[in-house]
Amino acid sequence: MFHHEPPRATAIHHEEPMSRENSRIRISTLDEPGVTLEEMIRDVKAGLSREPKDLSTSPKYLYDAEGSRIFEEITETPEYYQTDAEFSILRQRSEEIVSRTGCRTLVELGSGSSSKTRALLDALLESGGPARYAPLDVSESALEESGEQLASRYPDLDIQGYVGDFDKSLRSLLKSAENGSGGRLVVLLGGTIGNFSPESRRGFLRTLRESMGEGDHLLIGVDLVKPRETLERAYDDAAGATARFNKNLLSVLNHNLEANFDPELFAHRAAYDEPHQRVEMWLDSLEDQEVKLPALGMDVRFEKGEGLRTEISAKFTRESAAGMFEDTAFHMLDLYTDPDELFGLTLAAPKG
């Protein structure tokens, strides 16, 4: 799963682009957030037509309101190590990162509550001079709530929030959040980068590179390769929160596509694919069955034991993280890790 700082609840949107501000923060809409019904139909139809059946290229559908709520439960399970590990890195390294990059603007992708970002904001403001925070999130209410809290804590911080998502808004975000004095630090915390397919990851980073200039830097969270048992436990906790999170995807499809998936006829499975260095989440059919999806104009057969892949989560080594950046015209400057080397924050700069 996104397992770190997921997008806010995914919904079929019907909103018009807008711009607004109040006395404490400014919020602008870059692109219509969320997904359209047509997009969902296209993605799900393509995924269910693959062999094996595969919806992992669209993990955003895991995060409706209920999925996002269950995710918060997952972060409280003893098997979930990522948040504490990332917090420890930020507490120890934020001052160094701000000093090293010389940034004056912090641009955060998928900001959510901005809770982990505060260590970086503390360091940014303590370094002196004007400071700006430009968070991007699909939820205007999340931006407003976190922005108000940050404005109270940091009265000298210039906060400009943007409503949008990764797929549509990267170029317009970085154009809007142009740096004044000093460079920009573009931040993607959590292990979200691991949920992209290799092709999508390259496309995402190349789009960032095209929109970044001299003096800009990139800080991206990466989950690190570790023993199979530790990884699989993190995606299949004893309390069953991750299983409920995974099965909730079927309820999302039922609600939006008039499908008749029975979540009780599928079993959650998490498996570490060592050759590809990634954890895969699956839903395995417990019996032969046929699922009707009227909105797609198709019925889908599942044989007993047949799996539907719902998500991938790539794990990185220092070498594979550096290679990810080298392939997309970045140079990795450092990989900061927690003492147990469970998680990492990669710092990179554009080449040239």
pLDDT at 180: 60
- Whether the predicted pLDDT of 2 surpasses 60: no
Pairing state between β 183-188 and 343-350: unpaired
Looking at the predicted structure, is the pLDDT value of residue 179 above 70?
Answer: no
Q: What is the mean pLDDT of residues 145-151?
A: 94
Residue 14: pLDDT over 70: no
Task: Kindly provide the b/e burial profile for residues 278-296, where b requires at least 16 CB atoms within 10 angstroms of the residue's own CB.
Answer: bbbbbbebeeebebebeeb
The pair of three-digit structure tokens given for residue 98, joined into one six-digit string? 């701000």
Higher pLDDT, 182 or 71: 71
**Structure confidence by residue, pLDDT tens digits, 24-69:** 689 999 976 667 899 999 999 999 999 999 999 989 899 888 998 9
153-175 pLDDT, tens digit per residue, is 999 999 999 998 877 889 999 99
Nearest alpha-carbon partner for 225 in 309, 143, 313: 313
Q: What is the pLDDT of residues 300-310, one digit of tens each?
A: 999 999 999 99
Domains of the chain, earliest start first: 1-352 (3.40.50.150)
- 6 has pLDDT over 60: no
User: In degrees rounded to 5, what are phi and psi of residue 298?
Assistant: -150, 155
1 pLDDT above the threshold of 60? no
Residue 15 is predicted with a pLDDT of: 40
**How confident is the model over 303-351, as pLDDT tens digits?**
999 999 999 999 999 999 999 999 999 999 999 999 999 999 999 999 9
Bigger pLDDT: 40 vs 114: 40
